Every structure is written in C-alpha cells, then in structure tokens.
Amino acid sequence: MSDAPTAAQPTDFIREMIRADVAAGKHGGKVVTRFPPEPNGYLHIGHAKAICIDFGVAKEFGGRCHLRMDDTNPTTESMEYVEAIKRDVRWLGFDWGEHLYFASDYFERFYELAEKLIMKGRAYVCDLPEEVFSKEYRGTITEPGKESPYRSRSVEENLELFRQMRAGKFKDGEKVLRAKIDMASPNMKMRDPPLMRIKHAHHYRTGDKWCIYPLYDFAHCLEDSFEGVTHSLCTLEFESARELYDWVIQATEVPHVPKQTEFARLNLTYTVMSKRKLQKLVEGKHVSGWDDPRMPTLAGLRRRGYTPESIRELIARTGVAKNISTVDVALLEHIVREDLDRRSPRVMAVLRPLELVVESWPEGEIEELDAPYWPAGTEPGEDVKLRGSRKLPFSRVLYIERDDFAEQPPKGWKRLAPGRKVRLRHGYVVTCAGVEKDASGQIVRVRATHDPATRGGATPAGEKVDGTIHWVSAARAVDVEVRLYDRLFLVENPGEGDKDFLEELNPASLTVLTAKAEPSLAAAKPGDRFQLERTGFFIVDEDSKDGAVVLNRTVALKDSWQKVVAKSEGAPSSRDVSSKREKEKKEKGREAEKKPEPAATELSPEAARLRDAHGLPPETARILAQEPVLLDLFSAALDAPNGKDLAKPIATLLANDLLGEIRARKLEKVPFGGAAVAELAGLAKAETISTAQTKIVLAEMLATGKAPKAIVDEKGLAQIASADALAPIVEQVLAENADAVGRYRAGNKNVFGALVGMVMKKSGGRANPKVIKELLEKKLG
C-alpha cells in the first residue's frame, strides 16, 4: 500500500483498449480522461472507483485527467458540494493540476451548437407538454413512437422560437429543443430526445444569466469534445446513451471526437450506494450527516478512520469489468486491517470495566512499567509518530474487561476465571483468588494475587499461563468516549426485492461507551490512530476536546473466539444462510432449464434438402439455409472441381467460422467466391494447413480477398508433418518444461495439451498436432 511496492500493473479491458489505441496512434497517442461529478451531493466509495480509474489510467499512460463539475441542472447544485468534491478527490490522493472545469462555463457554446443543429435541420422546438410527449408520442419499448406535430417547423421558425426561449419568453416546460432523430428507433434514447429545456432557476455559478439549460446527453459528449477528452469512461447504465453521444458529436461536427466506454459500478455488501438512499439516511436522521462514520461516503469513511490507501487498494483488487457485482465488505475490512496494522501503535483501554484487586500489591504503590508501542515483528510505517515505548502505571486496583472474566469458564477459555492464571499484558502474571458479588448476584470485583517474578509480563522458563488480557490502572485511568461502529445494515443487499431498506438498518450500528484508557491516551489528537489491544483499530475523532478524547472504531480486530462462541450457540451467520439460499436458487434454475425436452427443431424444406443431399448435420444445414450469403457461397463452392467431395467441410467452414464474422461485421457479401472456399476446405482436408490455420487464412481472405493458396504461401503457413522435423522441437520443449513433464507423470493429464500447445507455438503454428501427439506420447511413455 502506501510504501509497499504495488504488485503487477493492473490490467483490464479498458486499459487494454487504451493501450491498443495508443499503439495505433489514435489522438496522436495522447490519453485524456475526466472525472465528471455533478456537484449535488457527497462523493461515495462508488465514485472512488471512477476516480481511481479515470485518474489512474491517465497517469499510467502519461496523460491527464480533468476534474469537471457537470453542473447543468441549476436546481440541485451548490458550491458547498464543489468544495466537498475537491477535498475528497484530493484526499483520495489524486491531483487534477490546472484542469478543473465546469460545464456551466460552456453554456454559451452549447447554445451556439444548438442553433447550429437547428440550422442544419437536425433539431426543432417542440411545444408538446412533457406528459403528452411521454404518453402519446414516445411509444413504448415494443411499439414505435410517432412524430411530434412540431417536428416539421421551418428552420426560421425554430430559430426564432429558440431565441425567444433563451430570452425568457416562455415558462418552464412550455417548449423544449429536441434532436430530430427517429421516433421509431429501437433505442428509446434516440426517439427525438430533448437537448435544451427551460428552467427559470438561479444557477450557483451563472446566476440568472440563463433560463435554458442543456440536458446530460447533449452536454456531456460536447464537454468531452471541448476538453479534448480521448476516453470518456463511465458506468454501465450509460450504455444505451452511447448511440446518442455519438450522434451529437457527429451532428454538431465538433472537431474532436471522444469515445465513451462503460464499466460496472462498485457495490458493497451491507450498505447502500444510491444518492437517493443516502439522502434518505441523512434526512431521516438515521445517521448524523453525510460524514457519519457509518456512511459509505468518502467523508464518512475518512472520519471512520479508513485510509485513502485502503480504498485505492480495494479498487485495485476488485478490478474493472462489465459484470454487475457486489463486493463483500469483508474484503475492505481485511484491507484496512492490513493497512492499519502498520500505522497504529498499540495501547490499552478497557471498554466495559470490571475491577480487579491485586491483593498481594501494596496499597497506594504505583509502579511505572515500560510497554512497547509495537509488538515484536511489526514494522511501523514511515509516517507513524509513536515509536519505542511508553510508561504504564501498575497499581493495586486495576480494570479488566468484563468479557475477560468468567465464573464458570466454557471449554477453550483462555482468560481469567477462579483459580486460573493469566498474564496482564506488559504487567504481571496474576492468579484469580475469588470474586465479590452484590446483593443481586452481579460480579462487582475480582480478587487476585500477582507473581513478582513476572514483572513486565515475562514468564520464567517453562511457566505456562492461561492467556493474556489487557488492563489499565484504576488510579491513573483516563475516561475516553469510544464510538463502536458496526455495519449500517443487517442484510447484504438492503432494499433487495420489495423490502424497505430503512427497515433493514442495523439498530446496533453505533454503540457509545465511556472506556477506561491508559494515561498516554490523554494526549491524543484528532486524526491519531491506535490499536486498542485485543479490541480494534481506532481513530481520534474531530469531536475530541482537550481532556475529552473521542475514539471512533474503524474496524474491529478479527475475533476467532467470538466465532467459536457463535457456533456453539448454533446460530448460522447471515452469510451462510444467504449463500445457501443462493445455491438453492441456482439449482432450482438449472432444474427448470433441464425440464423442457430438447424439442427436435423442425427444419425448413431447404435445410432438409441440404441435409439429405450432402449428409450435413441438421444444425449446419439449418444455418446455411437461413443465411443467403452462406448459401450462395455453398452452392458456388460445390461447383468447384473437388467441391462435391468437400461438401461437409465446406459447410462447417461456412456455418462455423464465416458466420460469426459476417454477423459481427454485418457483411452483405464477402470479397471471395465459392471456389476460394472450396480451395480452403481442400487445403485443410489435405492437411496442408491445420484447422487453426484455416481461421487465420479465412480472416485474411476476408480482409484482402486473396486466394487461400496464395495466402498460405505468402505467410508460410504450410503444415510441418514430418516427424524428423518436429522431433527436435518436441525434445526442446520437454527439456525446457521439466516441471510440466513432472506434473504430467504425476497424473495431471491436462498438461499434455499444454505441451502440444508449446510445440505448436515454437513451430509458428505450423506443426501438425497429430504428429506432435504421437511424438509426445512416445517420449512420455
């Protein structure tokens, strides 16, 4: 993390794409990204993912990343949020340099481009009220919409009306500027989407200068273009907006063309991430504010004691992909413990005190013991201030944790109990001599005697203790407020199904205690971090005042004893339950899938004819019959000299290898004829080339239209089938991969394929796999 060397450079589909773009010299090899929040709320850990990706890739490719406030909606935004966003991005560890931008600075340019669209006849002023357009004109996902009666207004009229819109002649919603695209588009976003709307509202930056404001789909792509953004990275829900993004760029004829790419947003278990839900938590006073330490906001996480390094590490470890996923918060907790372990000096505090009287210790005597801040073997990070050790007062009356004493200890108990001997950490070994109870039977005091030979907690050779517990001197303890934070919700996915997420709040997400702490803690300042031994990692809260320290628990220590206790109580953890449920659901789904018997699909007459005439597998026949391009090629190929004998390989070649290409590129014809296909099939049949090579040749044919034989000669693809030629390569591979050979001999038969592959690679893909196999089998016995 902070000073640990980062593991391998992260790689993912976005970085791969950018690497390819740079290699191809797109945008002169430059990379410009942007992080574009709307300043209408606080950033949360989901935004952190976008920030890490946007700033991270820019840095990795030697480019730059802009921080841009996407402030096109005057009614929701404010300067307070702008400042909060800047603070949080900086805290996370990123720097935008001079590149801070505001969409609101581009309002005039948006307006000019809107007029341009009107003049090109690609936008119009529409008078339809919102609900009318939505109900009567937009259509539905299955039915096309119909055109607005205002769609055919003249350029002059549109221009005049649009200027009046700007001049404030109309009320909110009375008119809107629409793109003139296609009311029948299968993509709802393309059905004449609104570009500029009327809003008589004060904007926090432009004041009352404007009463028309651009909408996201019009503004965002242009902002990217204006700023020279090359890669506009956003989350998955904008996938269907990409077509419109490209339309606006093309229609406005802006010189710079950015490209949008989408990735999956970050979700975490046991929390909510949507702005709407977070707002409800704040407004409903379920939390103390946007920076409540239980909130997934960056401000909340910071106050909770999470480090920016730990958050960046979470993003790095969870990766970038397009799968919609929910990361287990246990991973974040693991990462922050790992990080805090090196940042947090160890001190002691007793959260739920129980008096322990050391009867063998003289009344009134206090001894200062030396206690190291760091356990042996733990290397503190560079930026920690507290090193070495501090003094710990030992006295006759101490406090220990109530949980560390049991009158009737359960099996496996490693703490104090009558007659048991434990080490008081850095203190003395004590033996429990008895308990005192009040009238109600409550334990109020534990009595013990100490062993003077164990000063500092040392145990003479051979001596065993039942365990080690933490403690503080009652005479010298300082009171500190301890805020124990736990997960905000009881369930992994709050609000899942039709549940109300507020009913799934964890009532015990905050416990406030007055703890007894060792005296050194009195000097703690806000931001200081500690590990309270055997309890958890804590940070000193900003609410602390002189003499009144407040500690927030960032994360508890792992507690394997608690797990034992929970298990003996027989309560399955919620995780077990939910994963079990998942599994059942999955199995059910599979059963349901299996039920319908594979109905023998009826072949069309044409497909049946192909199957019968050439002995084709039904599936292949069906594909040929329904794809005219393939069918033409097939019949032409049959007319080639050896075509009739190759009917089946030709058919599979077409249906299996060519079909995908045709569909992917939406080709209506290919640059070669049936004879070429027959020739290719012939080459494969004669084992002049291998099946894998067939695909390479086919791709080349598609690209250049050259004849198969010519391509094989030109690229030197002809197969090597001679054992004499291949034997040395096989020998070499075996010699270089002794470990793989070992695994094969040990029983991992899959290694065989890998060895074939290695020989293949060494031969430039030209070796005949059947011959390789024979050679390998002979060698490996």
Using CB under 7 A as the binding rule, the residues of this chain from 409 to 428 that contact RNA are 412-415, 423, 425-426
Which residue in the block uniquely carries the two structure tokens 């080459």? Answer: 683
* Choice between 442 and 560, CB closer to RNA: 560
* Choice between 294 and 415, CB closer to RNA: 415
* Choice between 75 and 542, CB closer to RNA: 75
Question: Site for RNA (CB under 7 A): which residue of 159, 629, 659, 702?
Answer: 659
663 lies in the binding site for RNA (CB under 7 A): yes
173 lies in the binding site for RNA (CB under 7 A): yes
Nearest to residue 538, comparing CAs of 523, 550, 522?
550
* Binding characters for RNA, 609-628, by CB under 7 A (x = yes): --------x-xx-xx-----
* Binding characters for RNA, 194-213, by CB under 7 A (x = yes): x--xxx-------------x
491 lies in the binding site for RNA (CB under 7 A): no
User: Which amino acid is it at 479?
Assistant: D
Which residue in the block uniquely carries the two structure tokens 């296909």? Answer: 677
User: Which amino acid is it at 252?
Assistant: T
Site for RNA in 10-69 (CB under 7 A): 11-13, 16, 36, 38
Q: Is 487 a catalytic residue?
A: no
- Only one of the segments 152-160, 161-169, 277-285, 455-463 lies at the binding site for RNA (rule: CB under 7 A); that segment is 455-463
- Only one of the segments 156-164, 328-336, 360-368, 710-718 lies at the binding site for RNA (rule: CB under 7 A); that segment is 328-336
Q: Is 602 a catalytic residue?
A: no
Site for RNA in 690-719 (CB under 7 A): 690-692, 695
Question: Site for RNA (CB under 7 A): which residue of 22, 66, 72, 180?
Answer: 72
Contact 55, 23 (CB under 8 A): no
Using left for φ > 0, alpha for ψ between -120 and 50, and beta otherwise, residue 462 falls in left
Question: Site for RNA (CB under 7 A): which residue of 22, 241, 336, 650?
Answer: 241
122 lies in the binding site for RNA (CB under 7 A): no
Give whole-number Cα distances, 674 to 544, 615, 625, 704, 711, in Å: 83, 19, 16, 16, 16
Contact 361, 395 (CB under 8 A): yes
How many C-beta neighbours within 10 Å does residue 75 have?
10
Q: How far is the CB of 438 from RNA (least distance, A)?
A: 25
591 lies in the binding site for RNA (CB under 7 A): no
d(CA 254, CA 538): 53
Longest distance between any two alpha carbons in the chain, whole Å = 113
Q: How far is the CB of 115 from RNA (least distance, A)?
A: 18
101 lies in the binding site for RNA (CB under 7 A): no
d(CA 410, CA 569): 12
Phi, psi of 414 (to 5 degrees): -120, 30
Q: How far is the CB of 548 from RNA (least distance, A)?
A: 25
Site for RNA in 504-543 (CB under 7 A): 531, 533-534
Question: Site for RNA (CB under 7 A): which residue of 439, 664, 735, 738?
Answer: 664
Q: Is 258 helix (H, G, I), strand (E, B) or coil?
A: coil
Site for RNA in 132-151 (CB under 7 A): 133-134, 138, 140-142
If binding means CB under 7 A, how many residues of this protein chain bind RNA?
140
From 38, 401, 627, 679, the catalytic residue: 38
Sorted by sequence, the CB contacts under 8 Å of residue 590 that are 6+ apart come out as none
How far out from the chain centre does Cα 49 lie? 6
Contact 554, 538 (CB under 8 A): yes
* Choice between 166 and 334, CB closer to RNA: 334
- Only one of the segments 79-87, 482-490, 675-683, 736-744 lies at the binding site for RNA (rule: CB under 7 A); that segment is 736-744
* Choice between 132 and 548, CB closer to RNA: 132
Nearest to residue 178, comparing CAs of 167, 162, 164?
162
- Only one of the segments 83-91, 292-300, 456-464, 501-509 lies at the binding site for RNA (rule: CB under 7 A); that segment is 456-464
Question: Quick one: CA dihedral 497, 502, 505, 509, positive or negative?
Answer: positive
DSSP 100: E
d(CA 345, CA 532): 9
Sorted by sequence, the CB contacts under 8 Å of residue 655 that are 6+ apart come out as 619, 620, 623, 624, 630
DSSP 614: H
106 lies in the binding site for RNA (CB under 7 A): no
Question: Site for RNA (CB under 7 A): which residue of 26, 86, 109, 189?
Answer: 189
**Exposure of 39 in the CB half-sphere (CA atoms within 13 A):** 26
182 lies in the binding site for RNA (CB under 7 A): no
Contact 356, 398 (CB under 8 A): yes
Question: Site for RNA (CB under 7 A): which residue of 95, 112, 582, 777?
Answer: 582
Q: Is 379 a catalytic residue?
A: no
From 146, 163, 275, 706, the catalytic residue: 275
From 265, 487, 534, 779, the catalytic residue: 265
Phi, psi of 33 (to 5 degrees): -120, 180
436 DSSP β-pair partners:
445
747 lies in the binding site for RNA (CB under 7 A): no
Question: Site for RNA (CB under 7 A): which residue of 62, 419, 456, 615?
Answer: 456
511 DSSP β-pair partners:
484
Sorted by sequence, the CB contacts under 8 Å of residue 663 that are 6+ apart come out as none
* Choice between 75 and 514, CB closer to RNA: 75
* Binding characters for RNA, 356-385, by CB under 7 A (x = yes): -------------------x-xx-------
183 lies in the binding site for RNA (CB under 7 A): no
Residues annotated as part of the active site: 38, 265, 275
